[in-house]
Amino acid sequence: MNAMTRTVPATMAAVQLTGHGGLEKLVYRTDVKVPAPAAGEVLVKVSACGMNNTDVWVRQGAYGTEEDAAAVSTWRRQGNTLTFPRIQGTDTVGTIVAVGDG
């Protein structure tokens, strides 16, 4: 990380999606490792976020596949393209606290 990096904690609080399913697949944790931004990336300290239909449908695996519209599948009908656990959040705002190279 370059000189713009501020003091960033080692862990953070997050709601992790642990697999496809209902609300039981969302787990609140306070010990999630803060990611380091890779080249061309930034790290954002989130100050507010929203939840939209994409977050719900991805959790449910509701996108189906080209062969079976009722199949449990992730984004864009490409089968199981996600790894778990993951942190969702397509609608977020915050402050850049670290930047990767470039």
- Using an 8 Å Cβ cutoff, are 74 and 80 in contact? yes
- Predicted TM-score (pTM) of the model is 0.79
Contact (Cβ atoms closer than 8 angstroms) between residue 82 and residue 58: yes
The mean pLDDT of 51-58, rounded to a whole number, is 88
- pLDDT-derived band at 45, boundaries 50, 70, 90: very high
Distance CA 53, CA 30 (A): 25
Containing 50, the helix (H) or strand (E) segment is strand 42-50
| CA gap 41, 26 in Å, rounded | 26
Q: Distance between CA 26 and CA 56 in Å, rounded?
A: 11
Q: Specify the CATH architecture of the domain 11-99.
A: Alpha-Beta Complex (3.90)
Q: Give the mean pLDDT of 84-95.
A: 90
